[in-house]
Amino acid sequence: MKVARLLGVFVLLVVVAAAAAGGAYLWFTRAVAAPGPLQAPVTLIIAPGTGVQSIAQLLATNNVIAKPWMAVLEARRSGQDRSLKPGEYRFDAGTSIVAVLGKIVAHDVVARFVTVPEGLVTPEIAAILSSAPGLTGAMPAPVADGDLLPETYRYEWGDTRAAVVGHMRNARSALLAELWATRAADLPLNSPEEAMVLASIVEKETGVGSERARVAGVFVNRLRRGMKLQSDPTVIYGIAPGGDMDRTLTFADLERPTAFNTYAIAGLPPSPICHPGRAALAAVLNPAVTDELYFVADGTGGHAFAATLADHNRNVARWRQLQRGNSGPNNSGPK
């Protein structure tokens, strides 16, 4: 009788303990899934090597969660404590502990973007990457002008500048191969590398998208006829890569013997004078079909084109007349 009574008490205690444990477990699972205390979105950086307890404390310090111990316990209960990844994370208001841990495990990090405009030279791109927040490491060397494709690139906090440059270099190679395969017939270009050189000149000669193919057509016509390209940006590059493209060239500049002076050399210069963009490369490999051989600035940001020297000289005269009353750009192009 006594044994039976004791057994009954033991069973009751086990049932009560199990019920209490079940209730505590139910309360805990609901608590970690409930909205957190955060009132406005916040972005935090979890450094490499940060453990689960330090991550929980960081979250609590920034009011993402209320109780660090709950995040630690949930991470260990769910087996996520060894899968938390470093990075830059944005947490929205009211994010639960379960959602916070899921974001960190999934490496759902903030996407950053860096935009590299067309027509820059390597030191200018290096300056952009040097000031991009979150990138690490030095700019790799060497990076020749024409090696990279100007575009907008996605990166994450902690990525290296070398990795971004690698993406830019791969993108340039892929685009060049794609466009070279669909180039117009009978172009006076012997290799994809020569296409990059000409594209860099077109990029520097005009910022007007609608006339890129026409400018490319002029240069292609001149190459076919054995005429010198006479491109002002190549002269400036030979004197000072990345120099002021709007400055007035002097006769001394045009006579200066450099490998890039296309007033003096025949054909293309030895390498690109900038990093050209997709549109300039596409224009060079599929230029406008035209009989034009000349162009000069028209005072509106674009160019006046001509098929004959007489017409070109009239366009130049009009441009010089505009110059007398306007101190704007003087990139006159081929003469």
pLDDT tens readout for residues 223-235: 999 999 999 999 9
Residue 118 within a domain:
yes
Per-residue pLDDT reduced to its tens digit, 258-286: 999 999 999 999 999 999 999 999 999 99
CATH of the domain at 78: 3.30.1490.480
Same domain, 221 and 300: yes
Task: Report the pLDDT value the prediction gives residue 22, as an integer from 0 to 100.
Answer: 57
Last residue of a domain, one of 81, 109, 137: 109
Same domain, 105 and 121: no
Residue 299 within a domain:
yes
Average pLDDT, the chain: 89
* pLDDT at 19 exceeding the cut of 70: no
CA distances from 263 to 159, 200, 228, 267, 295 (A): 44, 17, 6, 10, 15
Task: Report the pLDDT value the prediction gives residue 5, as an integer from 0 to 100.
Answer: 57
Last residue of a domain, one of 94, 109, 124: 109
**Number of domains, the chain:** 3
Residue 13 within a domain:
no
Side chain identity, residue 57: Q
Per-residue pLDDT reduced to its tens digit, 60-88: 999 999 999 999 999 999 999 999 999 99
Residue 8 within a domain:
no
Largest separation between any pair of C-alpha atoms in the chain: 126
Distance between terminal CA atoms of the chain? 119
Last residue of a domain, one of 72, 91, 109: 109
* pLDDT at 55 exceeding the cut of 90: yes
Residue 272 within a domain:
yes
CA distances from 125 to 59, 180, 235, 271, 296 (A): 36, 25, 21, 18, 29
Q: What pairing do the DSSP bridges indicate for beta strands 152-155 and 42-46?
A: unpaired
Q: Is the pTM of this model over 0.95?
A: no
**Quick one: average pLDDT of 126-149?**
95
Q: What pLDDT band is residue 11 in, cutting at 50, 70 and 90?
A: very low
Residue 137 within a domain:
yes
**Quick one: average pLDDT of 193-220?**
95
Q: Return the structure tokens found at 185.
A: 């017939």
Q: 41: which residues sit within 8 A by CB, 6+ positions away?
A: 90, 91, 92, 93
Helix (H) or strand (E) holding 239: helix 232-239
* Residue ranges of E strands in 143-299: 152-155, 294-297
* pLDDT at 12 exceeding the cut of 70: no
DSSP state letter for 150: -
Q: What pairing do the DSSP bridges indicate for beta strands 87-91 and 294-297?
A: unpaired
d(CA 326, CA 329): 9
Structural domain including 251 reads 184-324
Residue 2 within a domain:
no
